[in-house]
Amino acid sequence: GKSTTLAALIDLVNSERACHIMTVEDPIEFLHQHKKSLVNQREVGEDTHGFAEALRHVLRQDPDVILVGELRDLESIAMALTAAETGHLVFGTLHTVDAAQTVDRILDVFPAHQQGQVRSQLAGSLRGVVSQTLLRKPGGGRVVATEVLRMTPAIANLVREGKTHQIYSALQAGAANGMHTIDQSLAALVKSREVDYDEALGKAGDVNSFKTLVGASGASTAAAGGSPWSNQ
């Protein structure tokens, strides 16, 4: 569901802001028409050889907003960070399961001697992380569960100090700032009967946390019948 989310974000900017949007995608899945913004889309393999090469070209075109379909390597990530630091709104994706792993993945592509500097860059330029996973609904179709991180001063300090292992706890307590963990999202979907317990359990980031959030009644029903909603 990442492509759909990114397309919705670009469409929101396109509908509300007069600016220059440039995207680098592999492949292009959604074609954007010009609305309030001018949108130029580049496809890897057709218009460019790779994300890093495309980003170099994009930055010469004076964009306001940049979408990078995948942040795959050191060069692409470094260029995206530089673009964000110089005032561009940058959207990108990584193949990670939660917010803390996303931050770690960005840091880990850099050599150890650069990671302190990159932590400072990331703490100063990152605005948020959305992790998402799709789950099957009992009656057919799918529903999304999300984890949302917003770069509050407290989160920025954790990133800057290399304490990403504490991000999960900060998200758990971050509802007032619009944050939540994937387990909180999954538990809410189970309680609203949008997904079965077992389906959500398989996607949990912290199984014990998820079980606590759902409650003993949900877990015991699942043990007896395979799902708290399996007979309904």
pLDDT in tens, 172-213: 999 999 999 999 999 999 999 999 999 999 999 999 999 999
Q: Which residue has the tokens 């759902």?
A: 214
- Local structure of 201: helix, strand or coil: helix
* 8-state DSSP, 213: H
Q: Is a pLDDT exceeding 70 seen at residue 89?
A: yes
Map out the domains of the chain as residue ranges: 1-93, 112-214
Please tell me the pTM assigned to this model: 0.88
- Local structure of 223: helix, strand or coil: helix
Q: For 66-206, where are the alpha helices, taking DSSP H only?
A: 74-85, 99-108, 115-125, 153-160, 167-172, 182-191, 197-201
Q: Note whether 1-93 and 112-214 share their fold.
A: yes
10 Å CB burial of residue 11 (0-12, 13-18, 19+) is: middle
- Rounded (10°) CA dihedral 136, 138, 144, 148: -110
Average pLDDT, the chain: 91
Q: For residue 103, what are the CA distances in angstroms to 37, 122, 217?
A: 30, 8, 35
User: What pLDDT, on a 0 to 100 scale, did the predictor assign at position 218?
Assistant: 55
Name residue 136's amino acid: R
Could you tell me the fold of the domain covering 1-93? Answer: Rossmann fold (3.40.50)
pLDDT in tens, 115-146: 999 999 999 999 999 999 999 999 999 999 99
Least-confidence region, from 91-100, 135-144, 179-188, 222-231:
222-231
Class (C level, CATH) for 112-214: alpha beta
Q: Is a pLDDT exceeding 70 seen at residue 219?
A: no
Q: Are 66 and 91 in contact (CB under 8 A)?
A: yes
